[in-house]
Structure 1
Amino acid sequence: MLKIGQKVICEFSKEQLIVKKKLGEGGQGIVYLVEGRMGRKALKWYYTEQSTDEQKKSIRELVIKGAPKGKAGKRFVWPIDLVTTAATSNFGYLMDVIDTKDFAELGEVWAHLKPVPNMHARCRISYELANSYRHLHLEGYCYRDISAGNLMFNPITGEALICDNDNIGVNNQSNCQVFGTMEYMAPEIIMGEARPSTLTDLYSLAVLLFQFWIWHHPMHGEEEYSIRSWDLPAKKKVYGESPVFIFDPVNVRNRLPKDPEYDTPRKFWKHCPEPLKKLFIRSFTEGLHNPNRRVTEGEWQDVFLELQDCIVSCPSDRAENFWYEDLNKVSCWYCKKDIESPVILELITSCGKRNVVITKHTKVLLRHVDPYAEEEMGISVIGEMIQNPNNPSLWGLKNTTQKQWKISLADGQLREVPPQKAAPLVIGTTIDFGNGTMGQFKK
């Protein structure tokens, strides 16, 4: 492999890099820190058996094509250049260095080496993950190796990064050296009935999201618990031949064992919000053997945005809880106390209904009133909660746009809310945001 101080060359930029130190290694190769005119970068250098002409061609195509556009593409730690050396036929690819002080792997959170993300951060990480894979798939690619090992995230801010992008290929066309990690593989791949595709990516994404929220594998129940030798045939049976979801509402064969070591997933599932539970159940029942019934990236996006908009903090301990429609009452998952039902801004748009929980920190975003807004524009603030300077007990939604709102008060009065003025926070007040979007304060 490479030696410290050795020089390597970039195929496209022709830049010479110096190997500084080894950062880590995996199943396909070793990652080094390298330095050149563009600064410090990471270099994944393939083992000899992985340094095939097919892999070199694949990396070259990824460098030429580039990552998906926009914020979704920036979350991929995409190959920047193909790297070679005259000393050997082995090769590698260049990528940006990840700040491991700020970013964590899921295993580090499980081991309490890094902070556990709060509910808001969990929603953002999950949304960004689904959003990036959606854009990758829309450009005709499949990832082929979605797993916890390829996800890094900032537990505080909720930013997500997707690593190890060298196995990405054109959906249903490119050959691949890697078919995925078995515990994330769709059953049809394990059984040799299909090759990696966008549909098998959807299954892998569901497994990863389940692990992220429930801290457990969706098929690790009594079936896995009763196996004495966790070898390849055993894994093939649990993941491919006869997989059963541990929380399948009908088939109870693979329920969680009555063992204290399984208390964490049992507790997390109990407190998992119902809209998210429904998607997990569909993923691992209908979607288990019917790829066309798998939850799409857009459905995951919607549910995580919905949950992020409906977080309620417990006044007793500040623990974050979720409000959602059809919930009789909100009870704090931590202290078990009931929380007063929040005020909701119910929005009716051309794409249906969306709810936003109103707190003193609430900001109404463009994406709330315009479902077609691009992601970069969708996060712009169009309204924020403010107190009446003459009477701090009165709150209102300040119009931060350049357009006038029209409101209808509960008593039928019609008013206009010009920019920088506020619509009063009164139950029953209706706001016309324009472009066919109406909002109403409800409780």
Structure 2
Amino acid sequence: MAVATLTDGRTIKYIPEVIGEGAEKTVYFTEDRSSVICLYKKPKDDAMLRRKRLDAILGRFNPTIGDKNARYWKELFCWPTGIVEKPGIGIVCPSYPKNFFFTSGVLKGKEKQGLWYFGEKASKLLDPSEKGTWKDFVSGCILLSRAVGRMHRAGLAHSDLSYKNILLDPVINKSAIIIDIDALVVPGIFAPKVLGTKGYIAPEVMETVNFPFDDPHRKLPCIHTDRHALPTLIYQYLLRRHPLEGPKVNSKDPDEDEQMSQGKRALFIENPTDKSNRPNDIKIPFTTLGEHLSSLFLKAFVDGLHDPDKRPTATQWESALLKTWDRIIPCSNTSCPGKSFVLSNVRNIRCPFCGTKPAGPIPILNLYKETRPGQWQPDGELVIHSKTALCLWHIFDNIQPGPDVDKTVQAYCAFKSGQWLLINQKLTSMVSPGGNNVAPDKATALNDGAKIRLSMEPHGRMAEVKLLKV
């Protein structure tokens, strides 16, 4: 058993058998396997700067300590917990939770990297029990966007967001975690150590990759480049293809073609005005994800592809994904590969994964907030299916879903005896269309045009029912 000495004086025993190795680090299990020791291969290179960076990452920029939601962020980041000084410079990190490893099939024991889900060849190795549902990946993308947003609000950039540094579990806990935190970029303080991973490097970085490192015109990873990598991952997880990898050839030389196709001449494969890079086999266009995600994909891959300032923020992606979540309905086809889909085209409602037309009518709650006494303004919508849950962020216009929000179900919807019902569980001042109080455990019918006051408390919303004919 080997021993590592930390900068705070602690010693940790570790198993001197390499369990992982990358370009910069070798990785070892601690004696109890609850953590790993990562030792840098070139400990003398920029040792003082690296130590300063690690001190900052483990200290003032660390959301897993001192933050009121520290426990929550620990589940979304594999954040280092200590700095090793002997036998060399390194870090201590928690071992990945067990749910981020496959438990069956030929991939048993491997990490749940994105490539196994959206890689054309790699995904064929995935055991059916490990696939999850399409809605589970929306959930994972919400958490991923929230975590990236937390980093960016602190002024940090990951610099290498890719399928390798994100683990997503769509089956057990339906969760996501960001790894490789030790090389975060702090603008103006700590420069990036890596350029990123092929396929996730922003076009401006690819375009200037051959410039001298100290050339002021060379573009390096930062928050703006994270804002390219994040939607690339979301697009891949939800649509199973890369947003820039189409048939267009920009050079006969393979290496130059790759650099140009991901750099200066990068072109969104679903660009609405330039179809020169569009594959012929796109069966599920990005527009089937609904207006909220569609508009952001256009901003990310058309408006912002070569103009970083126009790229949506991680918080905007989280918001769009949450609004999309509220429009997801289950597919009635039990053999459907997606199991659920976004209600996007109300004129021709069909599951994009299998073509099944749902049974109707479909209730929609159009939500309104009160701007002045008696004056109401549209403020979102919720597509109803059996057991649709209404939480505090649906009831009140001043509450947003997040790490510190009570997730208790306040009311839910059910179809009973040929009638859609909204069943109150926790709300004390829900009012029916007829003006009567709907007590907890009581229900009000979801009839077309009905207006229900979800709460009479300040910021309580009103819901208007629309029965959508299929």
Q: Does 1:354 align with 2:380?
A: yes
Residue identity in the other structure for 2:115: G
Is the alpha carbon distance of 1:341 and 1:334 closer, same or farther for their aligned partners in structure 2, counting shifts above 3 Å?
farther
* Structure with the higher fraction of residues in strand conformation: 1
Q: Does 1:368 align with 2:366?
A: no
CA contact (8 A) 2:284 2:352 kept: no
* Structure with the higher fraction of residues in helix conformation: 1
Partner of 1:139: 154
Residue identity in the other structure for 1:439: A
CA offset digits 1:76-107 (Å, max 9, x no partner): 10011011324xxx321111111223661112
Partner of 1:30: 26
CA contact (8 A) 1:329 1:341 kept: no
CA distance in 2, matches of 1:126, 1:328: 28
CA contact (8 A) 2:329 2:343 kept: no
Partner of 2:461: 437
Post-superposition shift, 1:294?
Answer: 0.7
Partner of 1:383: 411
Q: Does 1:221 align with 2:221?
A: no
Partner of 1:267: 283
Residue identity in the other structure for 1:273: L
CA distance in 1, matches of 2:335, 2:447: 25
Partner of 1:342: 362
CA RMSD of aligned residues (A): 2.6
Partner of 2:35: 41
Is the alpha carbon distance of 1:62 and 1:13 closer, same or farther for their aligned partners in structure 2, counting shifts above 3 Å?
farther
Q: Does 1:416 align with 2:437?
A: yes
CA contact (8 A) 2:239 2:286 kept: no
CA contact (8 A) 1:20 1:35 kept: no
- What is the DSSP-based 3-state SS (H/G/I as helix, E as strand, rest coil) of the residue aligned with 1:175? coil
CA contact (8 A) 1:172 1:197 kept: no
Q: Does 1:333 align with 2:352?
A: yes
Residue identity in the other structure for 2:300: S
- What is the DSSP-based 3-state SS (H/G/I as helix, E as strand, rest coil) of the residue aligned with 2:132? coil
CA contact (8 A) 1:322 1:330 kept: no
Q: Does 1:55 align with 2:78?
A: no
Residue identity in the other structure for 1:222: P
Post-superposition shift, 1:20?
Answer: 5.4
Partner of 2:90: 92
CA contact (8 A) 2:239 2:284 kept: yes
Instruction: Give the count of matched residue pairs.
Output: 418
CA contact (8 A) 1:191 1:240 kept: yes
Residue identity in the other structure for 1:97: S
Ranges in structure 2 where 5+ consecutive residues have no aligned partner: 104-110, 209-216, 371-376
- What is the DSSP-based 3-state SS (H/G/I as helix, E as strand, rest coil) of the residue aligned with 2:15? strand
Post-superposition shift, 1:400?
Answer: 2.0
- What is the DSSP-based 3-state SS (H/G/I as helix, E as strand, rest coil) of the residue aligned with 1:327? coil
Partner of 1:158: 174
Give 2:331's match in structure 1, choosing from 297, 314, 321.
314
Is the alpha carbon distance of 1:374 and 1:212 closer, same or farther for their aligned partners in structure 2, counting shifts above 3 Å?
closer
CA contact (8 A) 1:182 1:190 kept: no
- What is the DSSP-based 3-state SS (H/G/I as helix, E as strand, rest coil) of the residue aligned with 2:152? helix
Is the alpha carbon distance of 1:269 and 1:72 closer, same or farther for their aligned partners in structure 2, counting shifts above 3 Å?
farther
CA distance in 2, matches of 1:341, 1:227: 52
Ranges in structure 1 where 5+ consecutive residues have no aligned partner: none
Q: How does 1:106-255 map to 2 (within 5 A)?
A: 106-109=114-117, 110=119, 111-112=122-123, 113-114=125-126, 115-156=130-171, 157-192=173-208, 193=217, 194-224=219-249, 229-231=253-255, 233-255=256-278
Partner of 2:59: 64
CA distance in 2, matches of 1:116, 1:326: 26
CA distance in 1, matches of 2:445, 2:148: 40
Q: Does 1:396 align with 2:421?
A: yes
CA distance in 2, matches of 1:374, 1:357: 17
Partner of 1:16: 12
Give 1:427's match in structure 2, choosing from 429, 448, 470.
448
CA distance in 1, matches of 2:222, 2:412: 43
CA offset digits 1:131-163 (Å, max 9, x no partner): 111111111211111111111011214200111
CA distance in 2, matches of 1:81, 1:270: 42
- What is the DSSP-based 3-state SS (H/G/I as helix, E as strand, rest coil) of the residue aligned with 1:32? strand
Post-superposition shift, 1:395?
Answer: 4.6
CA distance in 1, matches of 2:378, 2:196: 37
Post-superposition shift, 1:357?
Answer: 1.9
Is the alpha carbon distance of 1:29 and 1:174 closer, same or farther for their aligned partners in structure 2, counting shifts above 3 Å?
same
